[in-house]
Chains A and B, each alone.
Chain A
Amino acid sequence: GENVEQHPSTLSVQEGDSAVIKCTYSDSASNYFPWYKQELGKRPQLIIDIRSNVGEKKDQRIAVTLNKTAKHFSLHITETQPEDSAVYFCAARTNSGYALNFGKGTSLLVTP
């Protein structure tokens, strides 16, 4: 089955700096790659996603890039703010009929 690896497990940045989280996946048939943000004690919430026919997608301070050849995708957060502090999960899915496979998460801390 699909195996998603995520790095780093923890990331600490200063407010205003950029943060990058990287994921690799094993199944070349995967075609949907969402990123979820989970604050302490709360539900995971989708922040951005990308499909395999697109190489990059941006939404304000957040961007995701996908390299299908290398089977990796990354989350980029620019101009980080303290409220960006949370655990971020990447995920992959092979087709629309199947469930998401998640990475182990990255705990991001943004210090003022």
Chain B
Amino acid sequence: EAGVAQSPRYKIIEKRQSVAFWCNPISGHATLYWYQQILGQGPKLLIQFQNNGVVDDSQLPKDRFSAERLKGVDSTLKIQPAKLEDSAVYLCASNQLNTEAFFGQGTRLTVV
């Protein structure tokens, strides 16, 4: 089966600029997650969607981060304005209820 697709793979922006990441989950997977992985650390959940509804966004910095999953399939994660500490790999994952979570390749963001 096709995996979780993410784009772009890499992005370099200046602080205070905006950036958007895109994720296409595995077909049929109702649950989609966005994780932030800072270098040397484990992935940290930013937001979880079930179909097109938000299940958990308690760790999403809502003053600058936003995410949507229109039509319950693709999702976009946006940062505006970016800060230096947002430099990380942004991982998208998806699964069906109570099954293995599959990760995309991630988008490596560098904020300079």
Interface residue? B45 (CB, 8 A)? yes
Question: Please, how many angstroms separate the alpha-carbon atoms of A89 and B105 in the complex?
Answer: 16
Question: Please, how many angstroms separate the alpha-carbon atoms of A91 and B35 in the complex?
Answer: 13
Question: Please, how many angstroms separate the alpha-carbon atoms of A45 and B91 in the complex?
Answer: 12
Q: Contact between A49 and B41 (Cβ–Cβ < 8 Å)?
A: no
Q: Contact between A102 and B43 (Cβ–Cβ < 8 Å)?
A: yes
The listed residue (B44, B55, B100) touching A46 by CB distance below 8 A is B100
Measured between beta carbons, the chain A residues less than 8 angstroms from B40 are 104-105
Measured between beta carbons, the chain B residues less than 8 angstroms from A99 are 33, 45, 48, 55-56
- Per the CB 8 Å criterion, the residue count for chain B at the interface is 23
Measured between beta carbons, the chain A residues less than 8 angstroms from B102 are 46
- Fill in one digit per residue for B50-62: 1 if any A CB lies within 8 Å of its CB, else 0: 1000011010000
Task: Given the known inter-chain contacts A42-B105, A43-B106, A98-B55, please indicate yes or no for A103 contacting B42, CB distance below 8 A.
Answer: yes
Q: Contact between B106 and A104 (Cβ–Cβ < 8 Å)?
A: no
Chain A positions 77-94 with a Cβ under 8 Å from a chain B Cβ: 89, 91
Q: Contact between B101 and A43 (Cβ–Cβ < 8 Å)?
A: no
Question: Please, how many angstroms separate the alpha-carbon atoms of A103 and B42 in the complex?
Answer: 6
Measured between beta carbons, the chain A residues less than 8 angstroms from B101 are 34, 46, 100
Q: Contact between A104 and B103 (Cβ–Cβ < 8 Å)?
A: no
Chain A, residue nearest B55 (CB): A97
The 4 A-B residue pairs whose C-beta atoms are closest, nearest first, are A102-B42, A96-B98, A43-B103, A99-B45
Which residues of B come within 8 Å of A, CB atoms?
Answer: 4, 33, 40-45, 48, 50, 55-56, 58, 91, 97-98, 100-106
